Structures are given as structure tokens and as C-alpha cells.
Amino acid sequence: MILHSHNLVYQAVYHGARSFIEVFSTLDVEGWENVPQGSCLLASNHQSMLDPPLIGSCLPREISFIARKSLFDNPIFGAVIRACHSIPLDRGEADIGAIRIALAALQAGHGLLIFPEGTRSHDGEIQEAKAGAGLLACKSGVPVVPIHIRGARDILPRGAHFPVGGARLRVRFGPALSPKDYDPGKEHPERTVEASRRILAAIKSLDDISDLGL
């Protein structure tokens, strides 16, 4: 797969992630062609800190992603993820600024990665949906591509500082959801949360498809 990018930092992170994954795992990528050109939300389950570079390294286009604000406190790491189009989010409150930046990125034609669970799973099981993904989806009206990751937690589980080798990774991209698939309508009393639930249900359904060799 050839990355179409002129961003030198993004290229370095992309190829670094690919090399890391090749050393510590066997990777199977399915359905990446379901990701459209132009504006879209990429919605994935969240197992590990590895998830954003993992998903980014599976695609031939640059994507943006939302990351918790504290990750930007380190000057070097913060500069790198900013150069890779990350958007800082204060998870302790309704971060209107981050929402506006994310919507502007979608309006500009970017692909934006978000995790409907809001944070990494403690046990590898998919957690309850938060409203954030549904809010961005309903406000923007863009296609939403569900993604299911399996195996990332085996390489770098929550709380781990060093990777474990020998894992089998699978990243599966499902068919894009249109607004009629995820948006329950403006009259729904829990519109954004329900949209997130529908998106998360599509993510879960990808794990129900049989795997060969996994």
C-alpha cells in the first residue's frame, strides 16, 4: 500500500508504525477500500494506545484523529501528533472548541478517526457508547466507516509500557454508514447517544463475521 502524503512527519509516523507492527505482530487488513475519498468519520473500538497509528497505517490517505488533551503536554510527542492532524479534546467537560475543530476538518474533506467508547477498554470488551461520535456524525452528515480491531490489546494493553510480540492483529473496515443508517432524527430525545449506539452496533457486527486463521 502506498501512502499519498506530502507531510514528512505523517510519512515518518506511518512508516514507523508499519515497521513496529511488522516486528511485533502478524497483521491482516480487510475492507480498507470501504473508506471513501473526502469527508468521513472512521469509528473504531478502542483496545490500545496503538489503535490510532495502527488504523492510520492501514490506509493510503492521511486521516485526522481526536486525542485526549493531556497527550499534548509532552512538547515533542505533542508536536508530532499535531503534525499528524490530531485534535486535542478535554474529556472532563463538553469541549466545544474541539467539536468545532473536528467539524471544520470534516467540512474541509478530511477523514476523522474517533472512538465511540470514548476511552480504551479495560478488559478488551467493547464498552458503552458515549455521545461524541454520534454528535459529530449527526452534525456533519458524513459517511461513517465502522472499524473493528482485534489483537491490539495483546501487543500493548492498557497500562503497559512495553509491547509484547507474537500477536495476531486484524483490522476490519465495514461498509460506510449513511445518515439514514445512524441518525434517528432531530425529534429523538437521545439523538446523539442513539447515533453512537447504532455506530457501535455496526462495529460490533464486524466481529461476528468469521475469521480465517484468527
> What pLDDT digit, counting tens, does each position of 29-86 carry?
999 999 999 999 999 999 888 899 999 999 999 999 988 888 899 999 999 999 999 9
Query: Which residues lie across from 40 on neighbouring strands?
Result: 111
pTM for the complete prediction?
Answer: 0.90
Question: DSSP string spanning 42-110?
Answer: EEE----TTHHHHHHTT-SS--EEEEEGGGGSSHHHHHHHHHTTEEEE-TTS--HHHHHHHHHHHHTT-
Mean pLDDT for 169-180 is: 97
pLDDT at 212 over 50: no
What is the reported pLDDT for 91? 72
Tell me the fold of 8-156+168-207: Glycerol-3-phosphate (1)-acyltransferase (3.40.1130)
